[in-house]
Copies of this chain bind each other. A is one copy, B any other.
Amino acid sequence: MSPKITVELLRQLRQAMRNTKYIAEPIQAYIVPSGDAHQSEYIAPCDCRREFICGFNGSAGTAIVTEKHAAMWTDGRYFLQASQQMDNNWTLMKMGLKETLSQEDWLISVLPENSTVGVDPWIIAADQWKNMSKALASAGHSLVAVQDNLIDAIWMDRPTRPSTHCTCVSSSVPGLTWQDKMTALRSKMAERKISWFVATALDEIAWLFNLRGSDIEYNPVFFAYAIVGMNTIRLFVDIKRLAVPTVREHLQLDTPSKVELSIQTAPYESVFTELQAVCASLGPKEKVWISDKASCALTQVIPKAHRSPIPYTPLCLAKAVKNATEIQGMKMAHIKDAVALCELFAWLEKEIPKGTVTEISAADKAEELRSQQKDFVGLSFPSISSVGPNGAIIHYRPLPETNRTLSLNEIYLLDSGAQYIDGTTDVTRTMHFGSPSAYEKETFTYVLKGHIAVSAAIFPNGTKGHLLDSFARQALWESGLDYLHGTGHGVGCFLNVHEGPCGISYKTFADEPLEAGMIVSDEPGYYEDGLFGIRIENVVLVVPAKPKYNYRNKGSLTFEPLTLVPIQAKMVNTDLLTQKERDWVNEYHRQCRETIGAELERQGRKEAMDWLIRETQPIA
């Protein structure tokens, strides 16, 4: 991987920072956040501005350019990748390390007195704007909104914004109609005396209307905003996309059943002026809900007295707790996904000795096998298919220049998943096709112990996920080891593979209590830079547990694995497992054999079946 050469781009950007065509006064720094106007994690090519300016293409990172410096902040998953993708005009700021300055502190340390820092108000979240603005003000600087995006100004061949056709989610999948969801939303609004709600997150809008799109790779969403009042629904979306009769009928655009369920559509770009109009007509006590992660530009349209920013919208919370239909769909999707992976691993075993399988061809094979499954839509994120040292790059994506060949000597880590019409999957397995070293087995076993500790944990109703994070690390910590990423994230149902508001992480923000019906990943790991990476990931469903006692009638929860793919026993040092852990592995493999075996049988996949039977032998 060779770094992007950015000398000329930085020169142009710095010129734009002084150009009165864009700004009244020159700015001394320009912030380039990671997201789009919806604060999406995965973004469309036209929104990859941070990648354009610095070369780093991971899913999280913020670039800041001053007259003399250029720095980029990202987290532990991306330290290696970022250092390889950026040239030496850039300083990598490793978030989470004690010595790393925050963006605010760094700006304060490098800026001349009374500096002005600019940012595009559409791609910075309101809460980030607030914090940054306050910190800069306290040091005598100011943060200003630059309406013209300065990256776009210097980006000659910037792609256009996608506008794919929307499709309805087939009626059996969501469990609730969009009308049901609208009614539930309005009852939450009434409960809190809220007159209007502004939906800005793309997955929330897709979920609310039971629509899907393909504007952003891997995420079945479409560019839109929605404003919901007690008797009004406004959907801001390129109207051409709703041209399909089934979609028009689904939304009852031509024949609304009730006035309050009549959807008015308007162009995507008109959300700003329409929200202004809504706000102009507000009564003195009326309140508008908007996520505190919505864009600064849209948030500031709502006068402060009427604005009620919330960390999680009612849609985000409702979407996280899956109903019985969605759970059933997620289970089906995971069975199909496991079939494809069993087939893949059986195939790899046969092919690797020939020396012809690479990271890229293995990932392609996985995609091909998944695409043979019913209702496959696409991948849910770029496959992390990594051999040996590449495995230590936590969010690695194989490229022709980094592509390694799978062999009998190095660990292979595959973190991949798919979108099916009935659900979304995300699974990581780490395998050795030859003889793993004692050290590889030892660290794999610690990771497995952590995975089991979370998966088998029983905890009181109302527990937040961050309180479970240390269970995943305990065995690693005891040996002086650790991993620099969270343990799990929420997973959508035929929606984004990463979603809030729950998760399992040492970071305590973005963390609502776990509830039965929520779905998260359980994915501890261990990474040895330059050598190998290990991660064991299942998607798990939060379910009620029935322990011996029931303290204060609070009830208990635990997890049920939805992912049913064998964990390679060859990598386990069974001496390091307790009897309880061995029992967990054997019971898990029994379930894999039973459930996936039945589907392999049905699909007549003999080789995969043999592989499954062998890989699910009980361990002693």
Contact = CB atoms under 8 A, between A and B. Distances in A.
Nearest to A461: B98
B506 A477 contact: no
Contacts of A457: 474, 477
Nearest to A464: B506
A550 B458 contact: no
A602 interface: no
A450 to B, nearest CB: 13
Contacts of A133: none
Contact of A467 (B470, B478, B480, B545): B470
Interface in A449-496: 457-460, 462, 466-471, 473-474, 477-482
19 contacts: A457-B474, A457-B477, A458-B480, A459-B470, A460-B477, A460-B482, A467-B469, A467-B470, A467-B506, A471-B474, A477-B556, A479-B548, A480-B545, A480-B547, A480-B548, A480-B549, A481-B551, A482-B554, A578-B578
Contacts of A138: 308
A460 B97 CA distance: 12
Given A285-B140, A467-B470, A550 B480 contact: yes
Question: Which has the most chain B C-beta neighbours within 10 Å: A459, A480, A482, A549?
Answer: A480
Given A458-B478, A468-B470, A480-B547, 11 more contacts: A140-B285, A460-B477, A460-B482, A467-B469, A470-B470, A477-B547, A479-B547, A479-B549, A480-B545, A481-B549, A482-B552
A462 B98 contact: yes
A232 interface: no
Interface string A308-323: 1000000000000000
Contacts of A460: 477, 482
A325 interface: no
Contacts of A578: 578
Interface in A89-125: 98
A508 interface: yes
A135 to B, nearest CB: 12
A361 to B, nearest CB: 33
A478 B285 contact: no
A477 to B, nearest CB: 5
Contacts of A458: 477-478, 480
A187 B482 CA distance: 34
Contacts of A556: 477, 480
Contacts of A508: 466, 508
Interface string A294-309: 0000000000000010
Interface string A535-553: 0000000000101111110
Nearest to A549: B480
A554 B94 CA distance: 15
Interface string A480-523: 11100000000000000000000000101000000000000000
A476 B480 CA distance: 26
Contacts of A140: 285
9 residue pairs, one from A and one from B, having the closest CB atoms = A480-B547, A480-B549, A467-B470, A508-B508, A481-B551, A479-B548, A459-B477, A458-B478, A482-B551
A549 to B, nearest CB: 4
A406 to B, nearest CB: 27
A480 B551 contact: yes
Nearest to A307: B138
Contacts of A471: 470, 474
A245 to B, nearest CB: 45
Interface in A231-261: none
Interface string A168-198: 0000000000000000000000000000000
Contacts of A482: 460, 551-552, 554
A285 B98 CA distance: 28
* Residue from A471, A547, A549 having most chain B Cβ neighbours under 10 A: A549
Contacts of A477: 457-460, 547, 556
Contacts of A462: 98
A556 B478 CA distance: 9
Nearest to A467: B470
A132 B466 CA distance: 27
A232 B460 CA distance: 53
Contacts of A481: 549, 551
A484 to B, nearest CB: 8
A469 B138 CA distance: 35
Interface string A275-308: 0000000000100000000000000000000001
Interface string A136-161: 00101000000000000000000000
Nearest to A287: B138
A70 to B, nearest CB: 25
A392 to B, nearest CB: 12
Nearest to A138: B308
Contacts of A468: 470
Contact of A478 (B308, B480, B547): B547
A545 B551 CA distance: 35
A95 to B, nearest CB: 14
A98 B308 CA distance: 22
A460 B468 CA distance: 17
Contacts of A552: 482
A249 B535 CA distance: 64
Contacts of A459: 470, 473, 477
A457 B480 CA distance: 11
